[in-house]
Amino acid sequence: QRTLKQVSENVNIIISEGERLKALINDVLDLAKLEAGRVEWKMQPVSVVDVLERAIIATTALFEQNDVELIKSIDEGLPQIIGDRDRLIQVVINLISNAAKFTDKGFVYCKVRRTVSEITVSIIDSGTGISEAEQALIFEKFKQAGNTLTEKPQGTGLGLPICKEIVEHHGGQIWVESELGKGSNFSFRLPIPVESEPGIKTIAAETLLTQLHSSMTTSTIIRNSREKTILIVDDEAPIRELLKQHLRAEGYRIQEAKDGWEAIEQIKQERPDLIILDVVMPKMNGFDTAAVVKNDLHSMDIPIIILSITEEQQALGVERCLSKPINLEELLKDVVKLTSQEKPTKQVLIVKENLPQAEMITQALRKRGIGIISARNGQDCISIAISLKPDIILVNSKMAKEEALVKKVRFEQGLATTFFILLDNQS
């Protein structure tokens, strides 16, 4: 009978370890897909309250097995966020499960709080706690709290790294606060995409798709023999994901960048057919990014759609930037190239202030049959541009920057199709 009992215990161990191995394999595959960007995210409006409630229901059985009380506290009137509902439930289930595993008695406290721009979910327990050294490693793969040499592993060591990948994909952050023997507090925060708050953009998908079709149809760089590529540049991962879902459904191939610098590097590697660009971004804002893109002959004719906080999209950009010593032949080639497409009579507005080469350039362009308009300074430039709408404005780069000429002409006055060539007179 003792032998039968031992066999039964061994069978249970084998089954238990088999389940743990299966969970490990699934977690390895899940994390590999997350890290490789091969997960199909279902980004949509999500209620954080619903996420927490469903995670609590899924983990109720864990609290029936021990003397631990599950408590919840949720702020009222929480707005929805943009996220993958199932993946967020996965995160909360993992955190609650971990809290239950390492808490023999006491409580697990689920708390949801809102600040102006974020929602924070905290899972707090009165369990064993985590040492400071282990806290630094807890979100790394295959790292577990506790003495793994003397204690039986209680998981795969991949749950928290998976949670980290999911939260960061949503533009959030996850962290732990703990003291050995005094419990733990695992928290993550997610951004609130509230349309009415300053600085938060709203996106009308139908309007955007209509404009995309128009831009892609009229673009001179489209090759009909291949799938059209769109580069989405936005520091908010949920917005990128939302746009990606809509655009992929329309048959477009999608590239992503989280800031202007990353976008510029991607364009150098693989030129897209169209760029969707956020205005408010860290490191380099949308206007500066567009200026860099439009300064480069490699990318100057790529259509750009701006995602602004007023839901308005428009094409923009500076077309070329030259430094001293100015190569006149190169300049002429650029001007001819930029003026060789639309109106039968081309006009270049030259702003003479701080531009000693103005007369030489004027004569050279007139020999090419290009009409020249002169402006004394930046203020004249704006007035003349409004009334005559030149094809190109040629101006000293320092003055253009100091007086914000590109912004005033292209954005404030609505002359989005006017090209700029900036000349640098500094040696």
DSSP string, 56-103: HHHHHHHHHTTEEEEEEEE-TTPPPEEEEHHHHHHHHHHHHHHHHHT-
Mean predicted confidence (pLDDT) in 246-269: 86
Tokens at residue 351, please? 């702003």
Q: Do domains 228-340 and 347-424 have the same CATH topology?
A: yes
Better-scored residue on pLDDT, 416 or 133: 133
Confidence of residue 184 (pLDDT cuts 50, 70, 90): very high
The 10 Å Cβ neighbour count of residue 100 is 21
The per-residue b/e assignment along 234-263, b for 16 or more CB within 10 angstroms, e otherwise, is bbbbbbbbbbbbbbeeeebebbbbbbbebb
Q: Strand 320-323 relative to strand 419-424: parallel, antiparallel, unpaired?
A: parallel
Mean predicted confidence (pLDDT) in 384-411: 84
SS3 letters across 346-364? CEEEEECCCCCCHHHHHHH
Domain spans, the chain: 40-191, 228-340, 347-424
Confidence of residue 187 (pLDDT cuts 50, 70, 90): very high
Alpha carbons 238 and 118: distance in angstroms, whole number: 13
Digit-coded pLDDT (tens) for 286-310: 777 887 787 666 787 787 877 653 3
Confidence of residue 246 (pLDDT cuts 50, 70, 90): confident
For 228-340, the fitting CATH number among 3.40.50.10790, 3.40.50.2300, 1.10.287.610, 3.10.290.10 is 3.40.50.2300
Alpha carbons 43 and 248: distance in angstroms, whole number: 13
Better-scored residue on pLDDT, 165 or 215: 165
Residues 319 and 392 sit within 8 Å (Cβ to Cβ): yes
∠ Cα 256 319 247 (to 5°): 25
∠ Cα 36 40 45 (to 5°): 125
Alpha carbons 68 and 64: distance in angstroms, whole number: 8
**Percentage of residues of the chain with pLDDT beyond 90:** 14
Which stretch of 17-21, 135-139, 154-158, 280-284 has the lowest confidence by average pLDDT?
17-21
Q: Is the pLDDT of residue 177 over 70?
A: yes
Q: Is 307 helix (H, G, I), strand (E, B) or coil?
A: strand
Alpha carbons 351 and 109: distance in angstroms, whole number: 67
Q: Is the pLDDT of residue 3 over 90?
A: no
Tell me what pLDDT residue 220 has. 41
- List, in sequence order, the alpha helices (H) in 186-309: 205-218, 237-249, 260-269, 286-295
Q: Is the pLDDT of residue 311 over 70?
A: no
Tell me what pLDDT residue 299 has. 80
Tell me what pLDDT residue 329 has. 57
Digit-coded pLDDT (tens) for 105-129: 899 999 999 987 889 999 999 998 9
Which stretch of 107-121, 181-195, 198-212, 310-324 has the lowest confidence by average pLDDT?
310-324
Q: Is the pLDDT of residue 132 over 90?
A: no
Q: Is the pLDDT of residue 237 over 60?
A: yes
**Percentage of residues of the chain with pLDDT beyond 70:** 67
Better-scored residue on pLDDT, 9 or 320: 9
Candidates 91, 97, 281, 81; CA nearest to 167 is: 91
Average pLDDT, the chain: 74
Tell me what pLDDT residue 13 has. 54
Beta-bridge mates of residue 323:
424
> What CA–CA distances, in Å, run from 413 to 4, 304, 416?
88, 18, 8
In CATH terms, the fold of domain 40-191 is Heat Shock Protein 90 (3.30.565)
CATH of domain 347-424: 3.40.50.2300
Tell me what pLDDT residue 115 has. 86
Q: Is the pLDDT of residue 181 over 70?
A: yes
